[in-house]
Amino acid sequence: MTKKDKEIKQLLDNEVENRNKNDEINYDKPDPLLIARRYDDEFIILLCALFAYGNAKLIVKFLDSLDFSLLEKSDEIIDKELDKFYYRFQNAQDIKMIFKTFKRMKNEDSLNNIFVNAYKKENSILEGIDALIQKIHNISNYNSQGFTFLISSPFKRDKAGLIKENGNAPYKRWNMYLRWMVRDDNLDLGLWKNIDKKDLILPLDTHTFKVSQKLGLLDRKNYDLKSALMITNKLKEFDKFDPIKYDFSLYRIGQEKIM
């Protein structure tokens, strides 16, 4: 490890140690995990992750306004209760549809099962994410711009059927969901077993992308899946068993403009 790498590792290790505590997330320092950690339901937590785009305060405000018990109610009640709801790119119909879809899925199988069945073939986080996205689209049988943005499209693949590193987005919200569900510390929930945290991929957003470039973790200009994988591999040099423990610190360094 170079002298510069040792310095970056020391900085990030200090940040991880200082931030790995319950009160690091609150209404003054908002994060969608603030709402997600109130529940041990994988579907509710996924809703918190999927709506986690935009301003952190507004995300938390919106998630706070949702009645997640609707996942147990009839379609008619879901339609009535969510009729005036919208969030950025999602209109009321999109939000009703994700609730109805998750309600149906809850009665069929667990998200963990769907994910692990695809993941375990090659320990591929990306294949697991893709299986969940495809399942949600199949069950919903619904198409709109807002809904597709919320769920994401299935990954683009090459002629051999392999997921492309170039030309795919980083799928930040999905990788964040997996960080929450697989890692287990004072921040993350650790509700899913059978997935190795060393396989996780950095939930790359614009904050962590810029910070990673400034720190020297990435010398690439494209904000895409390949960059997320490259930074993840770099972080494995600092901790090969738990590289994504650095994610929250990288995000906060950017959010709080520490650099």
The pLDDT tens digits of the residues spanning 22-36 come to 889 999 999 999 999
- pLDDT reading at 129 higher than 90: yes
Which pLDDT score, from 0 to 100, does residue 256 have? Answer: 82
Which pLDDT score, from 0 to 100, does residue 254 have? Answer: 80
Which pLDDT score, from 0 to 100, does residue 258 have? Answer: 76
Q: Which residues contact 87 (CB under 8 A, 6 or more apart)?
A: 51, 62, 95
Mean pLDDT of 146-156: 97
**CA atoms of 56 and 27, how far apart (whole Å):** 10
- pLDDT reading at 201 higher than 80: yes
- pLDDT reading at 252 higher than 90: no
What whole-number percentage of the chain has pLDDT above 90?
Answer: 93
CB atoms within 10 A of CB 220: 13
Give 143 or 253, the one with higher predicted confidence. Answer: 143
Which pLDDT score, from 0 to 100, does residue 74 have? Answer: 97
Which pLDDT score, from 0 to 100, does residue 191 have? Answer: 98
Which pLDDT score, from 0 to 100, does residue 1 have? Answer: 85
Q: Which stretches of the chain are assigned E, i.e. beta strand?
A: none
Stretch among 14-28, 44-58, 97-111 having the lowest mean pLDDT: 14-28
- What are the sequence ranges of the domains in the chain? 3-255
Which pLDDT score, from 0 to 100, does residue 13 have? Answer: 95
Contact 49, 205 (CB under 8 A): no
Mean pLDDT (the chain) is 95
Which pLDDT score, from 0 to 100, does residue 194 have? Answer: 92
Mean pLDDT of 11-29: 92
SS (H, E, C) 102-137: HHHHHHHCCHHHHHHHHHCCCCCHHHHHHHHHHHHH
- pLDDT reading at 212 higher than 90: yes
Which pLDDT score, from 0 to 100, does residue 22 have? Answer: 86
pTM of this prediction? 0.96
Band (pLDDT 50/70/90 cuts) for residue 257 is: confident
Give 254 or 118, the one with higher predicted confidence. Answer: 118
**CA atoms of 128 and 64, how far apart (whole Å):** 28
Which pLDDT score, from 0 to 100, does residue 81 have? Answer: 97
171 is written with which tokens? Answer: 């799928």
Place of tokens 């509710």: 44
Which pLDDT score, from 0 to 100, does residue 250 have? Answer: 92
Mean pLDDT of 210-226: 95
166 is written with which tokens? Answer: 């170039």
- pLDDT reading at 155 higher than 90: yes
